[in-house]
Structure 1
């Protein structure tokens, strides 16, 4: 899949906090030391994000988009 965003960072899922509509996923990265993303719970469940998963963070404007490979 191609993305318009050019900034990509490899990260490890640190924690997942699911809500009814939105979920907060925190990531551990080398630099900066931590990032977070708020996404719909549906997207979080579709990606099946779990602590310890390795993902690529795609940064565009104010959004951090996790992509599980």
Structure 2
């Protein structure tokens, strides 16, 4: 019999595989290439080049970064939720 944590891990892997093939309702999806992955104390900053010299930076949990196995050079899609976008001047 497997331990509860092992079952949770298997479930998470299945969920990640489902997400990889899932279509999203979010229309703000921008494809690019990962140019930097910088882990911090609790979050990882991921820089995605979406056009020549145009960099989009996302902050995700360290756990999510590890689960996704993000590496420089990987193709990635940034999905932007309007409720999380802030503008400063």
TM-score (norm 1): 0.79
Higher relative contact order (CA 8 A, sep 6+): 1
Kindly report the root-mean-square deviation, in angstroms, between the aligned alpha carbons of the 2 structures: 1.8
Structure 2 stretches of 5 or more lacking a match? 1-21
As a proportion of its length, which structure holds more strand? 1
TM-score (norm 2): 0.63
Paired positions, count: 63
Deviation >3 Å, runs of 4+: none
As a proportion of its length, which structure holds more helix? 2
